[in-house]
Amino acid sequence: MKGHRYLLVVFLFLGENLLLAQGERQSMDSLLYLFEEKQCFNGELLITVNDKPFYQNRIGYRDFQTKERIIPNSVFNLGSISKPFTSVAVLQLQEKGLLNIDDMVVKYIPEFAYENISIKHLLSHTSGLKQDLEQIEDFELTTYINNDSLLTILSKYKPRLYCVPGSEWIYSNLGYEILASVVERITKMKFSEYVRNNIFEPAGMSRTFIPCSREILKWLPSDVSEKDMLVPNNYKSIHSCEVTPVDSIDFSSARQDFLVGSENIYSCLVDLAKFDEALRNNKLLGKELQEMAYTPFILSSGDTAKDMNAPIPSYYGLGWFISINQSSGKIIWHKGRSMGSRSVFLRIPEKRQMVGATDNFDYPAVDLKGIACLRILNHETYRNPVLMSLIQKFGCGIYSYGFSRALSDFKVLKAAERQNYYISEDETIQLKNELTNDKKDTDALSLMEYSKELFPNSSTILTNYAELLFLADRAEEAVSNFRQAVLLPGTTNQEKETILNNVGYTFLVLNQFDKAELVLKLNIALFPNSGNAYDSYASALEKNQKIGQAIQMEKKAVTIATRNKDELLETFKKNLENLKSKN
């Protein structure tokens, strides 16, 4: 009789769990159908529990042009989810005694331009390096770029670091591209070959690969055909109303670049689940080094490296975001974006849970969609994952039926359906640029004037508005907005000074020397102890044929740089001699 009671208890327990699981799957189905109804997701979801599929479903098109539907286990560019793989590769070399992450990068790459950046700084995004090549001043993306030529570019331009290494968390793709080069220097192997032999194959990831050129289809593994590949799509511009394949959009010459370490691993959700399982079972990396990677990095100030813009409160370790959740446990995760697609990879190792989501339309909030599924799995509440771009809708309206009506519609949606939309500062600037490029200067000015209400504490918005005011010959208002931008709290003096310096040089390039002079004169008034500010002002005076005044300003630059022991002192001295020769 006792045996029958035991069986009855087991049966009731299993039955209850089956009912719970069925309810969770139905909730996920409902969520996916909502995404389809709101047209805010085109992709696939996979959830595993205890290394077994718990939920897998997909909606939308593999190719928007042919209307082919997405098939299971479609392959896509992981974007920045490539970074955890790079981290594992580097930590494997530490485990083998081939490097120490506390070593400086120059130990392994002697020509690296910065002697005070360590491997750990790169892994934790605390090196101070700029995020991408596009942010390097005077550098133009006109030629084919790979990881080797990247090192040459950094040596040539040596862009100034945003911070002292180890002092701030600043996301940098460049840092992870350098890490790939470190792996190559130590192993004498191509990064793609090392990762395939030491990560993909041991984990059983047969549908995962790293192409070595932009001709992706030439590098497909035997388990993958062209029909397995998701075609990335996007709007042609922020004001466009129609979807188009990414390859038809000439974003920039950067499309010809091919860099690894930070991105460009192609995989599928099933293979990501295998990666998760291999890590938890210590097949790829020992437990001790994994724990190091999953521990928030401590900055030199004693603060913890933290991403303030993450969709859930998150710290950063070595290649992974880390979210501490008292209910569900420690979430180890990363998100990714390549042009025309987005994805998220969420893991709770203690519960053996994994959630992956990918979208080949570059829809925002894919991370929130994955997080929502993880919350449902753990019976928790979640943020609204049904988010669309209100700026994109605004831009579409401006080009379709004019600014006035578009603004009216924008305000209605913002008031009535704010929970279903996000408003992006970056997209606002992008829309402003598109309007000015299309000679819609009045609309661009109106947009930026209204944007001050949307982003009242944004120096970027104020600066862009001031530039347009200058171009509209409203100099007094422009100076007022520049001054507001510079006086906003939350940025360093160097960053504030750079705001006006960059604007001044923009006007110099446009041969608008009077405007450049006015902006750069304001900069020395705001930053009288900056040699660089005086040097820039001298450049504007020189262009305006005021050589005598330019010499006086350059002398001040030399005096201040001498007092401050500025590294630009010799440059200022040369500039002064050049001015004297012209006089």
What tens digit of pLDDT does each residue of 58-102 get? 999 999 889 999 999 999 999 999 999 999 999 999 999 999 999
- What is the predicted pLDDT for the residue at 386? 86
- What is the predicted pLDDT for the residue at 503? 78
Whether this prediction's pTM lies above 0.85 is answered by no
Q: Rounded mean pLDDT of 557-561?
A: 90
- Residue 16 exposure: Cα atoms within 13 Å on the Cβ side: 5
- What is the predicted pLDDT for the residue at 295? 96
Of 266-280, 467-481, 545-559, give the range with the top mean pLDDT.
Answer: 266-280
450-462 residue pLDDT tens: 999 999 988 889 9
Residue 433 lies in a domain: no
Q: Is a pLDDT exceeding 80 seen at residue 356? A: yes
- What is the predicted pLDDT for the residue at 70? 93
Same-domain pairing of 365 and 501: no
**Pairing assessment for the beta strands 388-389 and 421-422 based on DSSP bridges:** parallel
234-277 residue pLDDT tens: 888 888 888 888 776 554 444 456 789 999 999 999 999 999 99
Same-domain pairing of 230 and 318: yes
Q: What whole-number distance in Å separates Cα of residue 433 and Cα of residue 426?
A: 11
**Structural tokens at position 219:** 């590098």
Residue 27 lies in a domain: no
Same-domain pairing of 214 and 347: yes
User: What's the mean per-residue pLDDT of the chain?
Assistant: 88
- What is the predicted pLDDT for the residue at 186? 97
Same-domain pairing of 158 and 294: yes
Task: Please report, for the domain that includes residue 550, its CATH number.
Answer: 1.25.40.10
Same-domain pairing of 354 and 501: no
Same-domain pairing of 166 and 298: yes
Q: Is a pLDDT exceeding 50 seen at residue 328? A: yes
Sorting pLDDT into bands at 50, 70 and 90, what band is 388? confident
- What is the predicted pLDDT for the residue at 506? 77
- 55-59, 164-168, 313-317, 360-364: least confident range: 360-364
Range of the domain at 552: 457-582
Same-domain pairing of 189 and 290: yes
Same-domain pairing of 220 and 317: yes
Q: Is a pLDDT exceeding 50 seen at residue 15? A: no
- The residue assigned the tokens 């110099």 is 508
Element (H, E) at 193: helix 191-195
Q: Is a pLDDT exceeding 60 seen at residue 11? A: no
Among residues 318, 342, 377, the one where a domain terminates is 377
Give φ, ψ of 272 to 5 degrees.
-65, -35
**Structural tokens at position 345:** 């990879």
Same-domain pairing of 322 and 468: no
Same-domain pairing of 333 and 480: no
Q: Rounded mean pLDDT of 330-359?
A: 94
For 30, 219, 254, 445, the CA distances from 264, given in Å and listed in that order, are: 32, 12, 14, 38
DSSP class of residue 472 equals T
Cβ neighbours for 98, distance < 8 A, ≥ 6 positions apart = 186, 187
- What is the predicted pLDDT for the residue at 146? 83
- What is the predicted pLDDT for the residue at 65? 87
Share of the chain above pLDDT 90, in %: 54
| H-assigned helices in 39-127 | 82-95, 119-123
Q: Rounded mean pLDDT of 34-58?
A: 92
- 226-230, 345-349, 384-388: least confident range: 384-388
Residue 285 lies in a domain: yes
Task: Please report, for the domain that includes residue 185, its CATH number.
Answer: 3.40.710.10
Would you call 336 helix, strand, or coil by DSSP? strand
Element (H, E) at 421: strand 421-422
* Terminal Cα distance for the chain, rounded: 110
184-211 residue pLDDT tens: 999 999 999 999 999 999 999 999 999 9
Element (H, E) at 54: strand 52-59
Q: Rounded mean pLDDT of 570-580?
A: 89
- What is the predicted pLDDT for the residue at 249? 57
For 154, 527, 548, 573, the CA distances from 577, given in Å and listed in that order, are: 28, 24, 13, 6
Same-domain pairing of 360 and 467: no
**Pairing assessment for the beta strands 68-69 and 61-63 based on DSSP bridges:** antiparallel
Among residues 335, 362, 377, the one where a domain terminates is 377
Residue 452 lies in a domain: no
Q: Is a pLDDT exceeding 90 seen at residue 342? A: yes
Residue 96 lies in a domain: yes
Pick from 353, 422, 416, 413: nearest CA to 383: 422
Q: Is a pLDDT exceeding 50 seen at residue 230? A: yes
152-193 residue pLDDT tens: 888 888 888 888 999 999 999 999 999 999 999 999 999 999
Who has greater pLDDT, 501 or 60?
60
Same-domain pairing of 238 and 90: yes
- 124-133, 343-352, 353-362, 365-374: least confident range: 124-133
Q: Tell me the three-class secondary structure of 439-450, residue by residue.
A: CCHHHHHHHHHH
Among residues 377, 406, 425, the one where a domain terminates is 377
291-303 residue pLDDT tens: 999 999 999 999 9
Residue 30 lies in a domain: no
Pick from 232, 223, 214: nearest CA to 64: 232
Residue 529 lies in a domain: yes
Residue 545 lies in a domain: yes
315-324 residue pLDDT tens: 999 999 999 8
- What is the predicted pLDDT for the residue at 207? 96
What is the number of structural domains in the chain? Answer: 2
Pick from 312, 313, 296: nearest CA to 304: 296
Q: Is a pLDDT exceeding 80 seen at residue 8? A: no
- What is the predicted pLDDT for the residue at 180? 97
Q: Is a pLDDT exceeding 90 seen at residue 357? A: yes
